[in-house]
Amino acid sequence: MLLVLTIAVIAMALVVPNFSRGLDSVRLQSASREIASSLRYLRGHAVSKNKEAEFNVDVKTNVYRISGRSKVYSIPQAIRLRLITADTEVTGEDSGTIRFYPDGSSSGGRVTLEAGNRRRLVDVNWLTGHVEIFAEVEE
């Protein structure tokens, strides 16, 4: 009986950390897809309404807002956010905007999401407004 319990404890010690890393990976993937979806929505909104649309990010509080909606979207605190955007779109020390124009173009930028040694990059092309997700793993 003692041998069975010892084997069970060893198995749990190996499985639980791997499960936790897998859960972080799923959260990271979900958050990056959510951000990319919001950016794509905004591009379409700017084109269809023929007016500028904004994606506002606060990396300190892990929240973002999109123009035309009052909802504040939050990203889990376990995920670190970073924003690269045009100098004219920096709205504070920890915040900035990616802007979409009526012709489909944008101010361009990148939202980086990090959890552990995994990183997702959500890029917005300034010329076309195209949104793409890239995955990186540090080793």
CATH code for position 117:
3.55.40.10
Task: Report CA-CA distances (Å) from 38 to 12, 20, 41, 43, 64.
Answer: 39, 27, 5, 9, 10
pLDDT-derived band of residue 127, with 50, 70 and 90 as boundaries? very high
pLDDT-derived band of residue 130, with 50, 70 and 90 as boundaries? very high
Q: Judging by DSSP bridges, how do beta strands 53-58 and 95-100 pair with one another?
A: antiparallel
How many Å separate Cα 114 from the centre of its chain? 8
Provide the domain count of the chain.
Answer: 1
Residue range 96-115, pLDDT digits in tens: 999 999 999 999 999 999 99
Residue range 16-52, pLDDT digits in tens: 555 555 677 889 999 999 999 999 999 999 999 999 9
Containing structural domain, residue 119: 2-137
Looking at residue 136, its pLDDT comes to 79
Tell me the pTM.
0.83
